[in-house]
Structure 1
């Protein structure tokens, strides 16, 4: 049992470690959990070996993501195995009272509880409890809102008891019950994800998201603007808008898409230099949205998943057709000629032929994709595509994916070469190990997925940059801590001097 006191004389507090797996939406979930736990008096640690409670926030979207999350659960279990100094809190009032060990009542030596939250536990709660007996509790996609209560339930449980908190998909979605979500960023970085909606009203035949996350639930506009202002006050200068389907924002409220109006309002938030749109369905791109993309502080960048290039396969997928895709790209490029386009495609969908794959390759070239994410089809139970005939063998789907990945790399190399000699804005994130260079991102580089830009500092020198700029963004499985940092003025102008597939090299230009 740990009873060590801090130098300030304050009693030690219950330490929580949050391990995050999956997409940007999960990262936002984890940040919200971190904020709620610290507000309740718990302490965060990035080391599961030092934690009194470990929370593993999982993804359950496709097979590879499920495997990664399960591996993460086992890693957490191994990290806390046979910990003799762990605490066991049984007093209900003590746990509810800010996680303070000194008021927690009876404490006994026991194993550190591991709580599994998120999409995987929403989808397979009973299977997880059965197959991994070391798990102390499972909670679904509502866990971010209820995390303080969930942790309290786990700490108060009987030694042999296990907590199961999995409700209807969509419960606890942001703004779904009028709750205003305000949380400090728990990551040392000058950018943030800003979630505007949860769930999806579409039913793509391969996708399990509606059954996991529920239907579309948009957050109130004023709440999003208030959060953006709060993030800006913390030094965040880049907002990356996320949702399962960003273009559908607001549709559940009055039957009209309101993303363009939201973007215009966000563009007026002081201190925000870039607004970036991630995951926009092609059929959600109208003239109003394209116009909003031309605003000065909206990055000329869009994540527009096409998923396939064969009209027949797109119909089987329940996705927008090629005509809608081409029309969306035309609208966007008419308003934003230098638009940088990221997209994703799926190979091996039931019934897919070699000709269908070639059609996908042709479409990627026709729309001028700059970045391409390629995923072999994952057969998910509960989806309409699960029982479709014409199953493509896994090795064939993977070979086709590799073919399209190589094409995507070629397209990326071409777009990088075309940028040589151009002056771009760069958001500096951290100093490079190479003296005189900084690592940053241009408007064409979304965080964590599109590579970086190395900038040779020629003006003030690297010592003239903000001292707190040695920042890093979390990879899958990263751990959150309670540190925060202000970004300062990190934007510079730089001239691209040489390209790479995942990197650019540039020299700072004086303005």
Structure 2
């Protein structure tokens, strides 16, 4: 019998940025493993080849990416690694600048240049691996990227510059990948894209996210399907009908709204008004009672006045979102907003972000306290000190609430679903006891 021999090189893939970048890294790892490379992800152990998958979304993300590249470039200069490659959004957007400023990197690649990266490593791109993917997340959940790119024209956003136009993946291909995940123990699928609701328009000439959800829900072994990164304008409302009817589709929607002042929304080119947004939220809550809506807002956009910011605060108080995050505006070159003056001082942006989160903190506590006494299903994520830590269907990993269950009550395993009763609440977490396993 012929023995499979690994290449002598070992590769460490470093991922920066969002879950969409993580999926790209997982595809890199999958291809390299199929080419007999030993590959690790964000590992501390020695590797002689390093691939840094960068983020270029906002200033803080770009700074982190550049610092990471510089760190590994320094390690290469000291002889600690042999080869250093850079890929991802920052590399796609600023390749020529990076080549000039950090020449220690052996090669830079854009977001769509995986075959070129593999070729540089003398590895073949294996088309037969489409539908399969090594995952770096805990084995009970995986991200499923249903499309690439974005056709929206939001004035502040550089993503179309780095990711190109919207391209949907066929339903059949996504179902095959979901089946592969399920066979390998995945219980929860998190659907991600730059813009979920546009799914299918390029392939099928109609918005087909509802049909995709029905197809994925038919995959045996998958228990939860979660929706991330929807766009509010022209939202296909039949998604809520599917969510209400299909138990596997979590009553959860991540829908970044960005602002609530009509004047700011117009400058942002968001193609929606506050009234239309409120109508969409009311419709969602009417069709799917108890739905958890996660949103994000952008403060400090050029020209944002105190009055416009107060409109946003009033909107958040009125809508009482279950989950909320805030970003401070980053002045991104080559975006339409770059032509305007970045006239909101950094300290004002930070103050507005903090004020908005203080409003949300009180809302979150009130909503959490209202759950005390309720029974809920919880997916166990990990054991931490004297507690098991889990999530409800209303919570996505890393960004949302967690449920703390005393470890003395029962023996639970990561990836288990358990029934609990909520016994206590804090601003962003719940406490619970096991009702039954």
TM-score (norm 1): 0.80
Write the mapping of 1:104-115 to structure 2, written as runs, cut at 5 A: 111-115=81-85
Which residue of 2 is the match for residue 262 of structure 1?
Answer: 212
Alignment partner of 1:222: what SS? helix
Which residue of 1 is the match for residue 153 of structure 2?
Answer: 203
2 CA distance for matches of 1:407 and 1:60?
A: 30
2 CA distance for matches of 1:451 and 1:135?
A: 39
Deviation for aligned residue 1:427: 0.4
2 CA distance for matches of 1:36 and 1:453?
A: 36
2 CA distance for matches of 1:261 and 1:198?
A: 18
Which residue of 2 is the match for residue 130 of structure 1?
Answer: 100
Which residue of 2 is the match for residue 276 of structure 1?
Answer: 226
21, 38, 47: which one pairs with 1:43? Answer: 38
Which residue of 2 is the match for residue 447 of structure 1?
Answer: 397
Q: In the superposition, relative to structure 1, how do residues 418 and 78 fare at CA in structure 2: closer, same or farther (>3 Å)?
A: farther
Q: In the superposition, relative to structure 1, how do residues 502 and 145 fare at CA in structure 2: closer, same or farther (>3 Å)?
A: farther
Q: Please tell me whether the aligned partners of residues 453 and 505 of structure 1 are also in contact (alpha carbons under 8 angstroms).
A: yes
Deviation for aligned residue 1:15: 0.4
Which residue of 2 is the match for residue 406 of structure 1?
Answer: 358
Deviation for aligned residue 1:186: 3.6
Aligned length: 430
Which residue of 2 is the match for residue 28 of structure 1?
Answer: 23
* 449-458 vs 247-256, which moves further: 449-458
417, 427, 431: which one pairs with 1:501? Answer: 427
Q: Please tell me whether the aligned partners of residues 55 and 61 of structure 2 are also in contact (alpha carbons under 8 angstroms).
A: yes
Write the mapping of 1:26-425 to structure 2, written as runs, cut at 5 A: 26-46=21-41, 47=43, 50-83=46-79, 111-152=81-122, 180-294=130-244, 295-319=246-270, 320-389=272-341, 391-425=343-377
Deviation for aligned residue 1:150: 3.2
What residue ranges of structure 2 are gaps of 5+ in the alignment?
none
Larger RCO, structures 1/2 (Cα 8 Å, 6+ apart): 1
Alignment partner of 2:431: what SS? strand
Which residue of 1 is the match for residue 383 of structure 2?
Answer: 431
Q: Please tell me whether the aligned partners of residues 286 and 328 of structure 1 are also in contact (alpha carbons under 8 angstroms).
A: no
What residue ranges of structure 1 are gaps of 5+ in the alignment?
1-7, 85-110, 154-171, 470-486
Deviation for aligned residue 1:355: 0.8
Which residue of 2 is the match for residue 107 of structure 1?
Answer: none
Q: Deviations over 1:17-68 (max 9, x none)?
A: 0110001100111111111110111001354661121000000011111011
Deviation for aligned residue 1:178: 11
9, 31, 48: which one pairs with 1:14? Answer: 9
Q: In the superposition, relative to structure 1, how do residues 324 and 419 fare at CA in structure 2: closer, same or farther (>3 Å)?
A: same
Misfit runs of 4+, over 4 Å: 8-12
1 CA distance for matches of 2:128 and 2:9?
A: 30
Q: Please tell me whether the aligned partners of residues 191 and 236 of structure 1 are also in contact (alpha carbons under 8 angstroms).
A: yes
2 CA distance for matches of 1:317 and 1:361?
A: 18
TM-score (norm 2): 0.93
1 CA distance for matches of 2:128 and 2:235?
A: 28
Give the aligned CA root-mean-square deviation in angstroms: 2.2
2 CA distance for matches of 1:79 and 1:451?
A: 38
Q: Please tell me whether the aligned partners of residues 16 and 51 of structure 1 are also in contact (alpha carbons under 8 angstroms).
A: yes
* 422-431 vs 16-25, which moves further: 422-431
Deviation for aligned residue 1:147: 3.5
